[in-house]
Amino acid sequence: MTCAELRERIVDSASASQGGHAPVVAHLEGCAACRAAAREYGALDRLVRPALPPSPPADFEGRLRLRLSVGSRHPVSSAWLLGGAVAVLALAALLAPRFLRTRPKPGPPAPVEPAAALVPAAATAPAPEAPPPDIVAVRSTPISFQTVPLSAEEKAEAVGLHDFDFLNSFRTLARLDAFFPEPVGPRAPVPVPAGGFPSRPPDTPDAIAGRFLDWQRAARTERIRLSGLEKSLRDRPEEERSLLEERWALVRDFSDDQRAGLRRLASRMDELDSRAHDRLESEIRLIGRLPKEQRVARWRALPFAKPLTGQEFASAERLLFSR
Amino acid sequence: MAPPRSATQPAPDSGDLLLVAAGDSAALTRLVTRWSQPVYAFFERTREPSAATEATLATFERLVVSSTRYAPDVPFPTFLWGIAVKIVQEGKTGDVLEIPAPKLAESAAARTAFVRSAIAALPPAERAAFLLTRVARLPATAAAEALGTQETEVRRRIVRALESLRTSLAPLLESTGAPASQGAPEGGPMGATS
C-alpha cells in the first residue's frame, strides 16, 4: 500500500475498513509521515467543525418566501408562494403598530379602537365613502396609511439594505481612520459580535416592519441614493465592511449635530497634504493609546485642533474618548 | 408528524419536494425546518453569516424552482446537496487571511475567519468534496452522487483538500491542537486512525 492509497482510505470511514484494517495499521507502523498526516487530518476535522452548529436567521423562511414571490421569472411562482409571503408580511403589518404612535389629540380621550382596525387599512384600500384614516406619526414624520403599498419587489429591495444611518455615514467613517483603533493588519478580520453588527439589514419581523414603513415614505430619489450607497458598501472587501460596521457601533449614538461634525472633520483632514495628513494621523493614534485622562490635554494642544469649530471639536473629542 | 414510510410511499423529504412542486406550502415549511440548518452550516464554513444566509436562500430557491423536474428515484439529499455544491463551486476562490499568531490565539472570531478563508481558498472541486464529507458529514459514496463523480475521485479530492489545509492552517495545528472554541473533540470519520 502506498502513502497515497493509505491516505485515500483513511479519509473515509467506510473505505478505511474495506479489505481489513491490517494493511492500514501495517503501513502506519512503518511510515511516520502518514502517522503525522493521520493525526493532523483528525485535528483538521475537529478544527473545521464549529463548537455549536450554526443556524440560519430566525426569519429565514419568511425571507425565502419573499424571495420566491419576487422571482416571478421562475415557473413555481404560484399563488401559494405569494400567499406565504403575504402571511409573513401580514405578520410584519401586525407588528407595525408597535412602531406607530397616534398623534395626540386635544380634548377628551377618544375611545380605544381595536388594533385590528388598523391592519386592514394597511393591507387594503379603504372604501371610497369611508372616512380618511388617521394620520399617524412614525419617528416624528407624519404618514398616512393611504400611501401606495410597497410591491414585493420594493420590499425585497428594502430588506436587503443596511441601517440607513450607517449607509449615510460609512464613507465618513472610512476617512477617519486615525480616530479608530488601528486594525491588526491590513486584512485582519474584525470579530463579528453575536447576532451581527447593529448596522446589519433588518432580520427580525419588527425590524422588517419598520424598514417597510421607512421605505414606503422614502421618495424615489432617496431610495435610489440609498440603494447606490448599499452597492458601494457591498463593493468594498468584506473585511473593510466589517471594520466600518464596527466603527459604526461606536458612533451610532452620536447626535445628528455630532455626525455632521464628523463629516466636517473628515473634510478638514482631506484638505491636508499627504505629509501633514500622515503626521496628524500618527499624532491622533498616539493620543488614542494614552489613558483617557491624558488625552484631553494632548488633543487640545494639537495645532490641527485649534481652528476647529465647536461642532467639529466636540465630535472629535467624543470619538477620541469613545474607545 | 412524519408520514410513515412504506415501499410505495417516498421518503418524507422526497415526498415533500413532490408536494412543493404541486404547490403545497406546508411541505416547503417542513423541508426548510429539516434542511435549512445543515445547508446553512455547509456554507457558513466558507463565508460570513450574511453571505451564508444568502447562499442558503439561493439553494432553497433553486430547490423550489427545480422541484418540478425532481424524479423521486433520486434521493432527496443527493438532489439538495447537488444544488448546494453548484453554489459553493460558484463562490470565488479567495486567499487565506494573514492573521498574526497573537490575534489567532486571543480571538475565536479571528480563528473562525482564518478557517473560513482557508476552506474558501481551496479549488472549487476540492472545496465541495471537503465540505460535503467534513461539514455535511456525507459518506464518500453519497458525496460522489451529489458531485456527479466517482467515489475514488472524491477521496482523492478530500486528501488534496486536507493536505492544502495542513499547510494553510498550520498556525492553528501547531498550537495546542484544535482550539476548544473551534470544534468539539468528537470522533469523526478520522477518529479510528487519529
CA–CA distance, B144 with A323 (Å, rounded to integer): 51
Per-residue pLDDT band at A136 (split at 50, 70, 90): very low
Q: Among A108-117, A261-270, A309-318, name the one with the lowest average pLDDT.
A: A108-117
Per-residue pLDDT band at A285 (split at 50, 70, 90): confident
Answer yes or no: do A44 and B173 touch at CB < 8 A. yes
Q: Which of residues 232-261 of A touch B (CB under 8 A)?
A: 238-239, 242
Q: What is the mean pLDDT of chain A?
A: 74
- Look at chain A and report how many structural domains it folds into: 3
What does the pLDDT read at residue B188? 33
pLDDT tens track for A247-280: 888 888 888 778 888 988 888 888 888 888 888 8
Tell me if residue A148 falls in helix, strand or coil.
Answer: coil
Determine the structural domain holding residue A139 and report its residue range: 60-103+114-152
Please answer whether residues A48 and B169 qualify as being in contact, where contact means their C-beta atoms are separated by less than 8 angstroms: no
Provide the Cα torsion B63, B64, B69, B74; round to 10°: 40
In angstroms, the separation between the Cα of residue B121 and the nearest Cα of chain A is: 14
Answer yes or no: do A15 and B155 touch at CB < 8 A. yes
What is the CATH classification number for the domain harbouring B43?
Answer: 1.10.1740.10
Query: Are B53 and B100 members of one domain?
Result: no
In angstroms, the separation between the Cα of residue B9 and the nearest Cα of chain A is: 24
Answer yes or no: do A46 and B181 touch at CB < 8 A. no
In this prediction, residues B72-80 reach a mean pLDDT of 92
CA–CA distance, A214 with A164 (Å, rounded to integer): 10
- pLDDT of B126 higher than 60: yes
Query: Are A67 and A139 members of one domain?
Result: yes
Could you tell me the pTM of the whole model? 0.51
Per-residue pLDDT band at A107 (split at 50, 70, 90): very low
Specify if A41 maps to a domain.
yes
Query: Are B25 and B57 members of one domain?
Result: yes
In this prediction, residues A101-124 reach a mean pLDDT of 36
What does the pLDDT read at residue A12? 82
ipTM of the complex: 0.82
Determine the structural domain holding residue B118 and report its residue range: 94-182
pLDDT tens track for A192-215: 777 788 888 988 877 887 788 788
Answer yes or no: do B103 and A188 touch at CB < 8 A. yes
Specify if B104 maps to a domain.
yes
Specify if A53 maps to a domain.
no
Residue that wins the pLDDT comparison between B182 and B48: B48
Tell me if residue B70 falls in helix, strand or coil.
Answer: coil
Query: Are B117 and B136 members of one domain?
Result: yes
Percentage of chain A beyond pLDDT 70 is 71
Can you point out the beta strands (E) in chain A?
Answer: 101-102, 136-138, 141-143
What does the pLDDT read at residue A162? 93
In this prediction, residues A221-230 reach a mean pLDDT of 90
Q: Give the residue from B91, B106, B122 where a domain finishes.
A: B91
What is the CATH classification number for the domain harbouring B148?
Answer: 1.10.10.10
Chain B residues with CB-CB distance to A57 below 8 A: 53
| Parallel/antiparallel/unpaired status of strands A101-102 and A141-143 | unpaired
Query: Are B105 and B175 members of one domain?
Result: yes
What does the pLDDT read at residue A301? 87
